[in-house]
Each structure stands twice: as structure tokens, then as C-alpha cells.
Amino acid sequence: MKQRAEITLHEIAGRLEGELTGDHGDIVISNVASLKDASAGDISFLAHRRHLKDLQVTNASAVVLPKEISFDGLPAIKVESPYYAFSQLLHMFYDVPYSPKGVDKGAVLGKEVHIGRDVTIYPFVYIEDRVSIGDNVIIYPWTFIGEGSSVGDDSLIYPNVTIRERCCIGRHVIIHSGAVIGSDGFGFVPYKGSHHKVPQVGGVIIEDDVEIGANTTIDRGTLGNTVIRRGTKIDNLVQIAHNVTVGEDCIFAAQVGIAGSTEIGNHVTMAGQAGVTGHVHIGDKVTVAGQTGVTKDVKDGQTVSGMPAIPHREWLRAMAIFEDLPELKRKISELEDKISEIESKSRNQNAK
């Protein structure tokens, strides 16, 4: 739902820290849209050169361009990263000013709960004893926060989230609906023919600026903590097992799974449905392709694919041949035939 109606190009250029071309500062902009969908009054942006043809025909009234591109057809603001500018424009036109609603009397709070300033706690929230909630925190209905847990300033928790006991959620954290933080790690000892539960007495630490997707599950440590470090973004339906450490500024796409005690470095990208086995170490700046199964350590900077995961280039080379296996098999048969023939001729010649 759009919030702002009109901003001048001059003001927009200032807020984007961009350079406005020509003398168009007074033009009034009322929305942001893609080059294809924009109409008069909208500002758009060129994120990739492959959209240059859309730029020629857009109905936008202005456009955000990368510094290295010149285009005279429209009033333009030149910036370092047009896609980042797009995110800023969305904030400008769509951000809803926050007005705290306080603690609804339909929420249930335990003893010794500390609540910061300017919070919004909806009805049907359940907060156990000795929980600490920071300033400006928003907690939607049916969120459970277990004994001794804490939620840092400016964090936002959507409906139906469970945060179990002794979990520490940082500042500026967003947790989407249905996520479960601090469920028991999956630990059992086989003993005399059946599986005995290993009590899971550790916790979870979610550092600042982390985002956790809908229905994602992050288990508590057996002893010690499961840790998600600052700035990491996790999509929906992801599984993070007990005692895993995920580094800073990682990106985990949907349905990724990380098994117990694995350590993942900083700036790691895991594409959708990829998995990592337990007790391995993934270095910094590693990229794991979709549906990959990582079964051993991966060094810094590598890109891996396949099950089991191997360097992406080798996987590409091998997969390129996979489809040709029937052809390879046929060639081998032909070679066998030809060699038989040669050998037979040779025997005949020797026999002469």
C-alpha cells in the first residue's frame, strides 16, 4: 500500500545521493515501478544492461541509471547501484510510519518481564518469565517467547512464531510467520535397541540484522548454542540443526538444510534445497548451488555443485557428458568390435 503521493526529483536525487541530469529537479514523482510497468509520474531504474531496450520504450517520467550509462531520452539520476536505489525508492513511497500500540491487554506476560519503550504487542501473545523485550519491538499474535529469552530493539516478529526458552534474538531482526527458534536439537542415543533422548539444554543466538523466513526451524544447541551471525538472511522452510554456526552476511535460499554442529563461514550463499551434512566446515564466500549435497569441508571462495558436492566447474564438465553416456557406451562397443577385427586379422596374417 503506497504511503507517499508526491516527491520531487530534486528531493529523490538528494536522498539517493545521486547526480540529477539536466534541469529536471521540479518534476514531481508519485511512485516507483519497473521499466515495463511504469506509467507517467513514476520513476523507474535500469538494473541490468539487458533491460536497455525496455529503457527506450518505458513510460516512466524519470529513471535511475548506473553512472557509466548515458541516456538522453528521460530525466535521469545517476547512482552507483540502481538496484540499491530501487530499494530506497520503495522505502520512500511505501514505508508506513510506525505508531506503537503498546502491550495489548489480551497478551499474557509472565513475571519479571522487561518491556522496552514504544513496543507493539498484539493480543494472544504469550511471554514467559524473565523475558526481555527491547524498544520499538513489534510482536504479532500467537507468538511464544520462552523463559529467559530476549528480543533486541527494533525487531519484528510476525504471527505464529515460537521462540523457546533461553534464546537471544538481536536487534533489527525480522522473524516471519511460523518460524520456530529453539526447538530441541535432534539428538538420540541408541542404547539397548531403542533411541534415548539426549536433553537439549543449550540455546540459540540470533545476532543483529538477521532475517528468518516463514516456517523456518532453528534448533537449540545440545550444550552451548546454535548461532546465526549478524546480517545473515534465511528464506522460508530452512532447517538449521543444533550447534550449527552460520557466519555473517550469508544468504540461505528456501528449503536449505544444515545438519548438526556444522560451521559455516561469512558471506556464504546456499541456493534452494541445498543441504550440508553434520560436523563439516564451510569456508568464507563459498557458493553452494541449488540441490547440492555437501558432505565434507569446503574451502574459502569455492563454488560447489552436485551430490556429493564437487567444484562447480568439474561438475559442469562431468554433467555435460552425463547426457552423452549412451553415446559413449556405443562408441566403446564399436571400439571393441574394431579391435576384435584387427586382432583377428593379425592372427590370420601370423597364421599364414
Annotated active-site positions, please?
242
Stretch that binds a second copy, among 13-21, 59-67, 81-89, 110-118 (CB under 8 A): 81-89
Residues 139-198 contacting a second copy, CB under 8 A: 140-142, 144, 147-148, 158-160, 162, 164-166, 174, 176-178, 180, 183-184, 186-189, 191, 193-198
Q: Are 112 and 94 in contact (CB under 8 A)?
A: no
Residues 286, 289, 203, 201, CA torsion sign: negative
Q: Could you tell me if 96 and 3 are in contact, meaning their C-beta atoms sit under 8 angstroms apart?
A: yes
Question: Quick one: which segment of 5-13, 18-26, 62-70, 220-228 binds a second copy (CB under 8 A)?
Answer: 220-228
Scanning residues 264 to 303, which ones bind a second copy (CB under 8 A)? 272-273, 275, 277, 290-291, 293, 295
R_g (Cα) of the chain, nearest Å: 28
Residue 310 in contact with a second copy, rule: CB under 8 A: yes
Does position 254 bind a second copy by CB under 8 A?
A: yes
Q: How far is the CB of 11 from a second copy (least distance, A)?
A: 18
Out of 7, 12, 29, 33, the residue judged to bind a second copy by CB under 8 A: 33
DSSP string for residues in 151-178: E-TT-EE-TT-EE-TTEEE-TT-EE-TT
Place of cell 571462495: 301
Burial class (CB in 10 A: 0-12, 13-18, 19+), 238: buried
Q: Provide the mask over 102-121, with x wherever binding to a second copy is found by CB under 8 A and - wherever it is not.
A: ----x-x-------------
Please spell the DSSP secondary structure of 315-340, one letter per residue: HHHHHHHHTTHHHHHHHHHHHHHHHH
The rounded distance, in Å, linking the Cα atoms of 184 and 242 is 8
- For a second copy, which is the closer residue by CB, 101 or 117? 101
Q: Which is nearer to a second copy, 26 or 192 (CB)?
A: 192
Answer for which of 8, 30, 59, 81 binds a second copy (CB under 8 A) is: 81
